[in-house]
Amino acid sequence: MLEEIRQQPETLARTLASEWKRIEKFKALLDRRRPRLVVLVARGTSDNAAQFGRYLIEIMTGIPVSLAAPSIHTVYDAKINYKDCLVVAISQSGESTDTNLVLDHARKAGALTVGVTNEAKSAMASLAEHVFLVRAGREKSVAATKTYTGQLLAMYMIAYALGAKLKHGDFETIPELATMALTMETEVSALAERYRFMNHAVVVGRGLNYSNAFEFALKLMETTYVVAERFSSADFFHGPIAMVEPNFPVFLFAPSGPTWTSMQEMLVKLKELKAETVVITDRKNPGAASLAHRVISLPARITETFTPIPYIIPAQLFAAALAKEKNLDPDKPRTLNKVTRTI
């Protein structure tokens, strides 16, 4: 897991270099055939990447985005009108049975279909009309890391194809931000020692980092067996905050920008409740340090739009380090396999 976390800058750079021409051609197609709706379909870590894609595409293009519920097809056999829709399936292996069934139904029902996968010879790659590859190389750890950030990059590129005002230069900074985030490894590993006996936690994010709250919590659950709940700051205020007591661990993604006001309010409230707060932020938001017990502050000023990839890397490092502190093997979580097939 740790080796694959460290491979992310090269994975991102390789994906961008390999897929850019294909994205430009896809953009030209979408300029002529703009969808009325985008539907994203995925499971697990890929579903967290889809959650990010939903926020990014809606914010930057104005096109409404839906997250598919595969059971609509696989359990209820419902007939959905996908005419004029873009359906994007996301899967590390490309072999997720229910995700591929939705993709197949959507294509037959008139959708323009896209597959985002790490496997060029997968079932998904053969089903989708357009395929964008996450060039991560083989991912051996059960806990997905480099494929997750590769999928986030793919969401940026699909948003660009849909009309988001992004430039190629914006994309070129993403591998650099990932490299910078990896410089936090020693600091994050030292922090993990404090949480050796942690068995429950909450992770909070909002907006473009809401997906990272889900992904960080998932990594904690599958590699360290910590019961990690995940919320937006808005939802957390609507009841779940009642579980917080002194020293209760809460991890928060807190960039500067539109979501900071609500995250600031959350931090103030958690400070009153004497919770143990750890904030992931960057130098563009120095105010977070005064409200949190502990801060993982990336050594750069990052515009909120581009925080999700560098912000998740310290979280991945934390999960890997905490697994080591708990004498667990994050590459072989109990009861889990690399490829999960569900209907």
pLDDT at 216: 98
Closest CA to 103 of 92, 88, 121: 88
Q: Which tokens go with 201?
A: 């936690």
pLDDT at 239: 84
Over the stretch 240-296, which tens digit does the pLDDT of each residue have?
898 999 999 999 999 999 999 999 999 999 999 999 999 999 999 999 988 999 999
pLDDT at 336: 60
pLDDT at 86: 98
Torsion angle, CA of 143/51/250/279, rounded to 10 degrees? Answer: 90
pTM: 0.95
Closest CA to 254 of 240, 268, 241, 244: 268
94: left (phi over 0), alpha (psi -120 to 50) or beta: left
Q: Which helix (H) or strand (E) holds 55?
A: helix 44-61
pLDDT at 141: 87
Q: Which tokens go with 301?
A: 């000023």
The residue behind tokens 């008139």 is 110
pLDDT at 333: 77
The residue behind tokens 């949190």 is 292
Contacts of 179 (CB under 8 A, 6+ apart): 9
Cα distance between residue 59 and residue 54, in whole Å:
8
335: left (phi over 0), alpha (psi -120 to 50) or beta: left
Say how far residue 280 (Cα) sits from the centre of its chain.
15
Alpha-carbon distance values, 159 to 26, 153, 155 (Å): 11, 10, 6
Q: Is 117 helix (H, G, I), strand (E, B) or coil?
A: strand
Strand-pairing partners, residue 66, are: 39
Contacts of 85 (CB under 8 A, 6+ apart): 35, 36, 37, 38, 39, 106, 110, 111, 112
pLDDT at 74: 87
Contacts of 336 (CB under 8 A, 6+ apart): 142, 222
Domains present along the chain, CATH in parentheses: 2-176 (3.40.50.10490), 183-325 (3.40.50.10490)
Closest CA to 162 of 90, 61, 86: 61
What sections of 162-259 are H helices per DSSP? 168-182, 185-193, 210-224, 233-237
pLDDT at 342: 65
pLDDT at 343: 61
Q: Which helix (H) or strand (E) holds 34?
A: none
Q: Which residues of the chain have pLDDT under 50?
A: none
